[in-house]
Structure 1
């Protein structure tokens, strides 16, 4: 791949863009899960971390201190049968990613950092005192830019990149379900109306709705792929599924940190607890 530049603009806007590319750009599908958590952690303090300082972002119930020498694979009793059945294939895929760069199989959290650095997804740069700190590449590469994905995974990743184009529009539509802090289960609308909400056109609105429907927590009473722009339909949100599946960005807290809410499924496995956000990924 082409040489990547490291992040130098640590503004809220650029950090938010990094998080969106992490969550919606395909990294959420890459295993081990520590990969995504480390990429999220790199911008959480508005300045680059050392490897050790990133440890808390990969803490789990089995590794509460986030030790980098701990296994990067979830193998505890909290995994269900499907998770356990998928684990060998996930390890095999990650081994192939590492081998692509001449690295041994991923075993520890530190191994995951080494792979990201070797693939130039992260840049390890000495600070003024000589301590190595991790700067994410900017813009953050997509997984297909740096990893030898299978043909099936590459197809999924292309769809995710398309989704990234319409993610901002989908956030605007989600906002209709949370007026004044309330949570509505249904809104009645049309693609023409939604186009005005997102300051776009009906095509953009259609793609944004399809993006929401693809996550499984939104449903529509009409076939959005074929519905005329003026036709009224009802769009519904299943908030239980919403909270279980979506990564959310709240913004920046008083300490200058970007606050993220992880999906409930991930919180149950890793014990993460962060504030409720506004922007949904």
Structure 2
């Protein structure tokens, strides 16, 4: 069974199907969005963990069955009545205490948007995710309410009333997630046969063919590279026509200081990695 949904904040349409019917690609994309698409910044942290747990077994869960995915040292069974603000981690207790009032205020605003009281328990977090149509609670043939994740997983800004500051951060994270693979493909053009080129003469149309996308994909991927500070372009990539030729240049010294470099497998079969200097 597939159901289609819309959301009033972003007009986003998502489909709901049992995780058992998902392909590996759908599950992988869900996990990417949950871990790297901005949900890691949303508090309480239980929200992200619940979204990850919802697809881990390839079958829908009841609320109680999903609880163990947010288990902590202070809540080893993942009881739904436990505080959603207790992470069980005492290593950064002082820093967490300073940030907690602001996080609670944000979460209270999220809940109020859907007519819900402030979040207090793990069950409250699930209720918010259901209200936001990120999870859908659907009865099975036996009448059990099972949690089905929306697909594709909406980004936080699609379903939550974020602050202007957080919206900017989320937009950057979203662009990075969507176009990071394309950006890596473009970086590869600078390293043909293991050589390092400092400049490539190209156009958005040419880059679109290289990344198997369209000129807008190429434009966004190049803009993502330019944001890092180690690539520069000889034209205004945000406004340049797709056919216009320009030069894209890489400062390898800056690149090595700011990025992780992969060098393939070593003699032991392990991937050799050079961490960024900065």
Q: TM-score range by the shorter chain?
A: 0.5 to 0.7
Gaps of 5+ in 1: 177-186, 243-275, 277-281
Q: 1:23 aligns with which of 8, 32, 35?
A: 35
Q: 2:250 aligns with which of 233, 236, 240?
A: 233
Q: Sort the Cα spacing of 1:129 and 1:165 in 2 relative to 1 into closer, same or farther, 3 A.
A: same
Q: Sort the Cα spacing of 1:111 and 1:237 in 2 relative to 1 into closer, same or farther, 3 A.
A: farther
In the alignment, the residues of structure 2 paired with residue 72 and residue 188 of structure 1 have an alpha-carbon distance, to the nearest angstrom, of 50
Q: 1:157 aligns with which of 170, 178, 186?
A: 170
SS of the residue 1:44 aligns to: coil
Alignment partner, residue 46 of structure 1: 58
- 1:38, distance to aligned residue in structure 2 (A): 0.8
TM-score in terms of structure 1 length:
0.65
- 1:161, distance to aligned residue in structure 2 (A): 3.0
Q: Would you say the 8 A contact 2:232–2:248 is kept in 1?
A: no
Q: Sort the Cα spacing of 1:224 and 1:15 in 2 relative to 1 into closer, same or farther, 3 A.
A: farther
Task: Name which one, 1 or 2, has greater alpha-carbon Rg.
Answer: 2
In the alignment, the residues of structure 2 paired with residue 119 and residue 6 of structure 1 have an alpha-carbon distance, to the nearest angstrom, of 13
Alignment partner, residue 110 of structure 2: 97
Q: Would you say the 8 A contact 1:126–1:132 is kept in 2?
A: yes
Higher relative contact order (CA 8 A, sep 6+): 1
TM-score in terms of structure 2 length:
0.66
Alpha-carbon RMSD: 4.0
- 1:156, distance to aligned residue in structure 2 (A): 2.4
Alignment partner, residue 115 of structure 1: 128
In the alignment, the residues of structure 1 paired with residue 34 and residue 56 of structure 2 have an alpha-carbon distance, to the nearest angstrom, of 13
SS of the residue 2:182 aligns to: helix
Q: Would you say the 8 A contact 2:233–2:248 is kept in 1?
A: no
Gaps of 5+ in 2: 1-6, 190-195, 238-244, 262-270, 272-278
Q: 2:90 aligns with which of 77, 88, 91?
A: 77
Moved more, 84-93 or 221-230: 221-230
Q: Would you say the 8 A contact 2:235–2:246 is kept in 1?
A: no
CA offsets per residue over residues 86-119 of structure 1, 9 Å max, x none?
1110011101111222222111111111110122
Q: Sort the Cα spacing of 1:230 and 1:10 in 2 relative to 1 into closer, same or farther, 3 A.
A: same
Alignment partner, residue 15 of structure 2: 5
Q: Sort the Cα spacing of 1:205 and 1:120 in 2 relative to 1 into closer, same or farther, 3 A.
A: closer
Aligned residues: 235
Q: Would you say the 8 A contact 1:94–1:105 is kept in 2?
A: yes
